[in-house]
Structure 1
Amino acid sequence: MRYEKMESFILIVASIFALYYLSQKQDLMANKMFGHEFNRFERIYHNTTYSCQNSTVVRKQITSGMPLPFIPSTSYSVRALCLTEDKHWFWFDAGIHRMKLSRTSITPTDSKEAFNALKDDPEILHRYFSNHDQQSA
């Protein structure tokens, strides 16, 4: 009887570890899928080219469809605030459903919205809006 409890405990621990490992692999694969799509995505709005390949990702947030970290997810969404070489801000949004890319979009934005999106991270905010500190002082 005692050995059965120990075997059950070992199986539960091994299962949790396997689920966690698979979850981490799924997260990595989703991140690679977003990176691949990001590098080839480009849109033109009002005579301005928003090319992901020629821009800097200032802030990125990947969200899993599964709220529990030990359970693998097949749905993800990403939102990245980006800055082009010509100093145009935009949001890159993408979604994965059943581990296939389901949607991508670029939404131009202005520096005020970018500032508001970065205001909770002083280091990044100072890097991209260093002149704002001097204006507000």
Structure 2
Amino acid sequence: MESIIILFICGLALYQLSLRQDKMAEQMVAQSFNRFERRYNNVTYSCLDATVVKKQLHGFPSVPLVPSVNYTARALCLSDNNHWFWFDASIRNMKLCSTSITPVSLAEASDALSCDPEALSQYFPKKKNTKAKAETST
């Protein structure tokens, strides 16, 4: 009976550690995001002034009750001057390894938001209306 209780407590401790690691990784990405800025083709992409539309944080290994030490983060952002870009960050052994900004076209941003109809209609209202017209005409 004691061994079951010990296993349960160990599992709970690992779960809490996993949640804490995820939170620390999210904070590391957020800190680097707030300081990051790049210039491509005479357009400045500043994360500080951008709106995060979609974000993803993936930990490796993604095994239940095993705390992750490696993460990849990706955020689709819309800058103040209406330019879309991906912010990517990589964390290895709980240290920020790399960050980058990749400009994307309107079509790529729309495709990235296609699984979220609410965000798609908010940022691409014409696209939703075009789809609705196509569905009613068929």
TM over 0.5: yes
Deviations 1:41-96 (A, max 9, x none): 00000000000000011000000011113111110000111000110000000000
Provide the rounded CA distance (Å) in 1 between the counterparts of 2:102 and 2:16.
Answer: 35
- Which among 26, 33, 39 is matched to residue 31 of structure 1? 26
Report matched runs for 1:35-74 at 5 Å. 35-74=30-69
Secondary structure at 1:125's aligned position in 2? helix
Q: Distance in 2 between matches of 1:134 and 1:65?
A: 39
- Give the whole-Å Cα distance in 2 for the aligned partners of 1:63 and 1:69: 13
Q: Which runs of 5+ in 2 are unaligned?
A: 134-138
Quote the Cα distance in structure 2 between the aligned partners of 1:38 and 1:69.
28
Q: State the alpha-carbon separation in 2 of the partners of residues 69 and 39 from structure 1.
A: 30
Counterpart position of 1:107: 102
What's the counterpart of residue 80 of structure 2?
85
Identity %: 50
> Cα distance, 1:132 vs. partner?
1.8
* 1:134 CA displacement: 3.0
Residue 136 of structure 2 aligns with which residue? none
**Paired residue for 1:96?**
91
The residue type equivalent to 2:127 in the other structure is H
Q: Is the 2:87–2:101 Cα contact (8 Å) retained in structure 1?
A: yes
**Distance in 1 between residues matched to 2:45 and 2:85, nearest whole Å:** 7
**Partner Cα separation in structure 2 for residue 24 and residue 127 of structure 1:** 31
Gaps of 5+ in 1: 1-5
Question: What is aligned with 2:122?
Answer: 127
Secondary structure, counterpart of 1:73 in structure 2: coil
1:19 aligns with 2:14: yes
**What amino acid is aligned across from residue 74 of structure 2 in structure 1?**
R
Aligned length: 132
